[in-house]
Amino acid sequence: MSNFSLNVVGLTKIFGRRLIFKNINLSFNAHEIVGISGPNGSGKSTLVKILAGLLSPTQGNVEHLFNGKKVEMENLHNHVGFVSPYLVLYDEFSAQENIHFFSKIRGINLDQEKLDSLFTKFGLYERKNDLLKTYSSGMKQRVKFIFSMIHKPVIVILDEPTENLDVEGKEKVYEIISELGKQCLILIASNEESDLAICSRIINLKEYKN
């Protein structure tokens, strides 16, 4: 169990003259599964990128607290797992080589036993040494989930997490998300009804346009 919270105060994002969202004030706690919804182009991906420290807001503040102490943005990657369709993997590497490569870049001390456990959980253990170019899009999505979980994050941010997954793949992901939600904060940016159905509350970005 983690002692983690996320506070958003007066968060506003403007691209050029276009208002994406305005004055978001929200608090999130560990052991929650929260949905972020809104029409295409409403700013779901923009918001989760800001919360993950990948993008700066135009105005407002994002504060991550872990064990009562503020997490500085330069250290946030140590605590966040992030999954999205636009994250890049290398087709010339195997699934295992991809995770070893990105772990080294991020300074993660890889636990091979845990990694093998995650490959098994996501049904990829027998294919872990196959080149990624032989993987389906759904299998690549599962590799991204494995990488997001390898460093035991306290917050997992999922942007369109079940895109490219078949029904069986979605059910496996929902099972794992529900399990993770007992340990950390899960944020799911999606319009997929089945994604949002597993959330304890839903934030609609349509409410932050004026």
pTM (predicted TM-score)? 0.90
**pLDDT per position as a tens digit, 28-68:** 988 899 999 998 888 999 999 999 999 999 999 999 998 88
Q: Which of 145, 187, 184, 186 is nearest to 163 (CA)?
A: 145
Cα–Cα separations (whole angstroms), residue 142 to 46, 120, 137? 22, 11, 9
- DSSP letter at 55 equals S
Mean pLDDT of all residues in 185-201: 94
Distance CA 62, CA 65 (A): 10
Q: For residue 165, which of 192, 186, 184 has the smallest C-alpha distance?
A: 192
Query: Mean pLDDT for the chain?
Result: 91
How big is the CA angle at 131 (ends 125 and 136), to the nearest 5 degrees? 75
Residues found in the chain: 210
- In the chain, the domains with their CATH numbers are 4-208 (3.40.50.300)
